[in-house]
Copies of this chain bind each other. A is one copy, B any other.
Amino acid sequence: MTSLTSLIHSTICWRILKGVWPLPQSFTISSERYPLNPQAFYFAYGKQSAAQEGCSVLDEAFKRYFSLIFPDYISGRFYSEAIFILYALRVSAGQASLKAETVWGALRGLETFSQLVYQEDFGSYFVNKTEIEDFPRFQFRGILLDTSRHYLPVRAILKTLDAMAFSKFNVFHWHIVDDPSFPYQSRTFPDLSAKGAFHPMTHIYTQSDVRRVISYARMRGIRVLPEFDSPGHTQSWGKGQSDLLTPCYRGSTPSGTFGPVNPALPSTYKFMATLFKEVSSVFPDSYIHLGGDEVNFSCWKSNPDVRAFMQKMGFGTDFTKLEAYYMENIVNITTALNKTSIVWQDVFDYHERIPKDTVLHIWKGDPASYEAELSRITKAGYRVLLAAPWYINHISYGQDWQKKKIHIPFTGTEEQKKLVIGGEVCMWGEYVDATNLTPRLWPRASAAAERLWSDEKQTSNVDKAFPRLQDFRCKLLRRGIQAEPLFVGHCKHEYQGV
């Protein structure tokens, strides 16, 4: 016995059978439709295209999208060639042309085209006459996975990368280590995972695992942003690296427990320089995430050596100065490695003197407070990344995808607006592992994806968005993504993989 309201939406949800998610910036589709013959269909690079055969990203993408476009088409010859100039898609009789400035734009256009093709009941494929010009609203559209609170098998990560590409996400923020476990197998410090992982063999990411994730992501136009969060959130680091964490004291004797990284020892910075040198070479992306959030001062305060260091440095009893000193050192290490640092907002909150090209990552609080933080940080001239509205691990009963479509708040100047580089959907791992990751993430994250890609004015009405998202969710199922339902109803091809 549940309420009768069930029916209200389920009747709506079949009206729009075609559609693109996230919505393109400009989109004209006519009722005139053309049949597509898988035998005759092929991609070809344009004569004047800079990209030609041998461009692995597109050659691979053509293969991938051929089977996404024709899901039940088995064999048949295949040309990996196509026409390019910018990301504009024009579907006309006998030919579709896709013009993009970059191969990454071309990837997005292929995704769009694949969503335009549909199958009628007898199985033949159609696409309508269509004109699309498209570009992302924000350059940074990320998803965070937390592989420390629960270990995620590599295949679960790859599956997520597939689904990310379908929603046009372009950054995988890999929160790879944290307090509970250290699954990253370091070349220079193998003990970190040997002693800090949940299991030294079955619950780690080897160097080749990481390479596999990075190249799989690259092929889908997704960059991999690694996070090695310190000085807090490092309990698991201490198991494999002695003298790294601060020994906490009870009165005048060590209590046997440990706090954040010890900022008073030169050995700490030597260790971090070596670790980040490795990380910078393993993860080619120009961004690196340094964390810097939620540092608890009580252990530092309890430790006599730390207090002595505070005096020596003239910090008095202001532990935010010590925290700032530590973060400054870490940021300088990664800057020397030609990386752009991203840190959580905490670093700005306690310390406004940080290198100008550092990106601040907003994760705290309700709309009122992150809106205020957004303008404070941009007023100070820093670039920001917004995560606070999209903590997707927080679930509630009902159609909570609507909350993920939240308006991106802003009261600042045009200059300030330019400093907002994008947003991120965070799937923290307290209650999530491979058993429930996919249905919890999809299609809920797709709601945020549209906010980050599309024109907010065209996409803010959730009732209009509902049938398109319902249809997109069925496409995800058809593509093997275990995406949960939005509401009462069904898909032509239900999930079978129980």
Taking Cβ atoms with an 8 Å cutoff, the residues of A that contact B are 1-4, 6-7, 10, 146, 149-151, 153, 155-156, 159, 178-181, 198-199, 202-203, 229, 232-233, 235, 291, 293-294, 296, 344, 363, 393-399, 428-436, 438-440, 477, 482-490, 492, 494-498
**B residues in contact with A150, CB < 8 Å:** 485, 488-490
Q: Please report the C-alpha to C-alpha distance between residue A151 and residue B10 in the assembled complex, in whole angstroms.
A: 13
List 29 interface pairs A-B (beta carbons < 8 Å), by A numbering. A1-B233, A1-B293, A1-B294, A1-B344, A2-B146, A2-B393, A4-B233, A6-B178, A6-B179, A7-B179, A7-B180, A150-B490, A153-B496, A153-B498, A156-B498, A198-B490, A203-B490, A395-B396, A430-B487, A430-B488, A432-B485, A433-B485, A434-B498, A435-B439, A435-B483, A435-B485, A435-B495, A436-B439, A436-B484
Q: Please report the C-alpha to C-alpha distance between residue A237 and residue B487 in the assembled complex, in whole angstroms.
A: 20
The answer to whether B397 touches A394, judged by C-beta atoms less than 8 angstroms apart, is yes
Q: Please report the C-alpha to C-alpha distance between residue A399 and residue B291 in the assembled complex, in whole angstroms.
A: 26
**B residues in contact with A146, CB < 8 Å:** 2
Taking the closest CB of chain B, its distance from the CB of A146, in whole angstroms, is 8
The answer to whether B180 touches A489, judged by C-beta atoms less than 8 angstroms apart, is yes
The answer to whether B395 touches A435, judged by C-beta atoms less than 8 angstroms apart, is no
Closest 10 A/B residue pairs (Cβ): A436-B439, A198-B490, A1-B293, A436-B484, A2-B428, A149-B488, A435-B495, A435-B482, A156-B498, A435-B484
**B residues in contact with A434, CB < 8 Å:** 494-496, 498
**B residues in contact with A432, CB < 8 Å:** 484-485
The answer to whether B495 touches A433, judged by C-beta atoms less than 8 angstroms apart, is yes
**B residues in contact with A151, CB < 8 Å:** 490, 494
Q: Please report the C-alpha to C-alpha distance between residue A457 and residue B453 in the assembled complex, in whole angstroms.
A: 55
Taking the closest CB of chain B, its distance from the CB of A470, in whole angstroms, is 12
Instruction: For A490, give the chain B residue with the smallest CB separation.
Output: B198
Taking the closest CB of chain B, its distance from the CB of A236, in whole angstroms, is 9
Taking the closest CB of chain B, its distance from the CB of A476, in whole angstroms, is 9
**B residues in contact with A394, CB < 8 Å:** 397
**B residues in contact with A429, CB < 8 Å:** 488
From B179, B202, B496, contact of A4 by CB (8 A): B179
Q: Which of A296, A394, A436 has the most C-beta atoms of chain B within 10 angstroms of its own C-beta?
A: A436
The answer to whether A494 touches B436, judged by C-beta atoms less than 8 angstroms apart, is no
The answer to whether B199 touches A490, judged by C-beta atoms less than 8 angstroms apart, is yes
The answer to whether B232 touches A4, judged by C-beta atoms less than 8 angstroms apart, is yes
**B residues in contact with A492, CB < 8 Å:** 199, 202
The answer to whether B494 touches A433, judged by C-beta atoms less than 8 angstroms apart, is yes
Q: Please report the C-alpha to C-alpha distance between residue A396 and residue B397 in the assembled complex, in whole angstroms.
A: 6
The answer to whether A235 touches B198, judged by C-beta atoms less than 8 angstroms apart, is no
Instruction: For A488, give the chain B residue with the smallest CB separation.
Output: B149
Q: Please report the C-alpha to C-alpha distance between residue A484 and residue B2 in the assembled complex, in whole angstroms.
A: 25
The answer to whether B396 touches A294, judged by C-beta atoms less than 8 angstroms apart, is no
Q: Please report the C-alpha to C-alpha distance between residue A495 and residue B432 in the assembled complex, in whole angstroms.
A: 12
Instruction: For A293, give the chain B residue with the smallest CB separation.
Output: B1
The answer to whether B431 touches A487, judged by C-beta atoms less than 8 angstroms apart, is yes
Q: Please report the C-alpha to C-alpha distance between residue A181 and residue B329 in the assembled complex, in whole angstroms.
A: 63
**B residues in contact with A486, CB < 8 Å:** 431
Instruction: For A387, give the chain B residue with the smallest CB separation.
Output: B1
**B residues in contact with A495, CB < 8 Å:** 433-435
**B residues in contact with A488, CB < 8 Å:** 149-150, 180, 429-430
Instruction: For A437, give the chain B residue with the smallest CB separation.
Output: B498
**B residues in contact with A156, CB < 8 Å:** 498
**B residues in contact with A159, CB < 8 Å:** 498
Taking the closest CB of chain B, its distance from the CB of A61, in whole angstroms, is 22
**B residues in contact with A179, CB < 8 Å:** 4, 6-7
